[in-house]
Amino acid sequence: MNSQIQDLHAQAMNLAEQAELAKLRGATADYQQCLHQALQLEQQAAQLIAPDPAAEPTRSVLHRSAATLAIDCGELQTAEKLIITALTGTPPAEIAEELKDLFMQLNVRRYLERRGVQLAEEQLQLLAY
């Protein structure tokens, strides 16, 4: 992994950590801001490595991480695209399964929303696992 990708990923993870701390403090605006910034940086890192199928498992790990951040931000289409991009490579079996689980989470959520079914986040998590 080149230094630009490593730097973007490190910055994204620092922001994700800051987001979690803001969430614990109840600072919703800070949480959202840090989370969105983390997503942007992790997505950039994933895009830089996406054309290199030989960069596994880093390629799929970055896409999985960016997809998870996108889900947390409520950007479900972005998450779906990231997951699909990751799966078009050759991710290790364990990471591929995690990506498929994330994809299922997205689709279950959308399916229920289309049907007018409202579940708490905890209930959605139980369905996904």
pLDDT at residue 36 above 80? yes
Contact 67, 86 (CB under 8 A): yes
* Ranges of each domain in the chain: 3-128
N-terminal to C-terminal alpha carbon distance within the chain: 31
Half-sphere exposure of 119 (CA within 13 A, CB side): 18
pLDDT digits (tens, 9 = 90+) for 48-57: 999 998 999 9
Average pLDDT over residues 119-126: 72
pLDDT digits (tens, 9 = 90+) for 81-118: 999 999 999 999 999 999 999 998 888 878 888 888 88
CATH level 2 (architecture), domain 3-128: Alpha Horseshoe (1.25)
Return the closest-CA partner of residue 44 out of 20, 75, 12, 80: 12
